[in-house]
Amino acid sequence: MSGIFDSQEAAVPFIVSLPHVGTGLVPEVASALAPAGHELEDTDWHVEQLYDFARASGAGWVQAKLSRYVIDLNRPPDDASLYPGQTTSALCPLETFLGAPLYVGSGPDAAEVARRRVRYWQPYHDELARLVTQARERFGHVVLLDAHSIMSVVPRLFDGRLPDINVGTHGGRSCSAGLSDALVATLARQEQFTHVLNGRFKGGYITRHYGNPADAVHAVQFEIGQLAYLDDPASVYRPERAADLKGLLRRLVDVMVHFRPDRSRS
């Protein structure tokens, strides 16, 4: 437990990372934010509740406490674009997804971004790396799920309504084909929620950096469109509204927990 993240070691070969569920604002950031920044509208609302069953069953767990407006834990430390040529957010965002300015002034300079990277970004990744290494050494392999959600309609980022469940494997590079095939097959056996593999969201820094099937680390990102479980992005979590989605997530998590790599293909 820290002021930056909450964590739990893995009792099974499966870890959940939740880098965008935090709503905390450190004083120096809060005092500089414009009104839009205090709304925290780009938070991955209630994702920790969607996966609470996994934590209770022994999954490794790293959950951010601070808002992505302090620093985005799913962006590279050098702030290189994950989606060249497309609109995306920065290591220390300056705008909301809808384009509203986050700061009253110009926002953090390079020195402030570097300070936040050391103070807030690095500890989260040190802990995630520790848990991944520990689980891989204990079980021989590990599956890392980077769990997210986003407003289902964000014209600056994508056209129309986003599919309900967006599975990202960095174009097949962050996990084995056997795992992604099993996840897609599970999604295909239901019709309530739309889905896509490696669509607009192919996996952020966490999926791309940690996913290394050759080293027995299989990483997958789930980006859930919030209309799949919320009437409004910032509405209060209602278990009955999210029940069907949570049932599907249980089946998908079961696939990941029980996944065993084909050693002959490694």
Could you read off the pLDDT of 82-116 as tens digits, one per residue?
A: 888 887 889 999 999 999 999 998 899 999 999 99
Domain residue limits at 9: 5-261
238 domain-assigned: yes
> What percentage of the chain reaches a pLDDT higher than 70?
98
266 domain-assigned: no
What does the pLDDT look like over 109-148, one tens digit per residue? 999 999 999 999 999 999 999 999 999 999 999 999 999 9
Q: What pLDDT sits at residue 212?
A: 98
Residue 181 clears pLDDT 90, i.e. is over it? yes
CATH code of residue 93: 3.40.630.40
Q: What pLDDT sits at residue 263?
A: 67
Higher local confidence (pLDDT), 85 or 202:
202
CA distance 118 to 108: 14
Number of domains in the chain: 1
CA dihedral 175, 179, 183, 186 (to 10 degrees): 180
Q: What average pLDDT does range 180-197 have in this prediction? A: 97
Burial of 42 (0-12, 13-18, 19+ CB in 10 A): buried
Split at pLDDT 50, 70, 90, the class of 266 is very low
Q: What average pLDDT does range 22-35 have in this prediction? A: 96
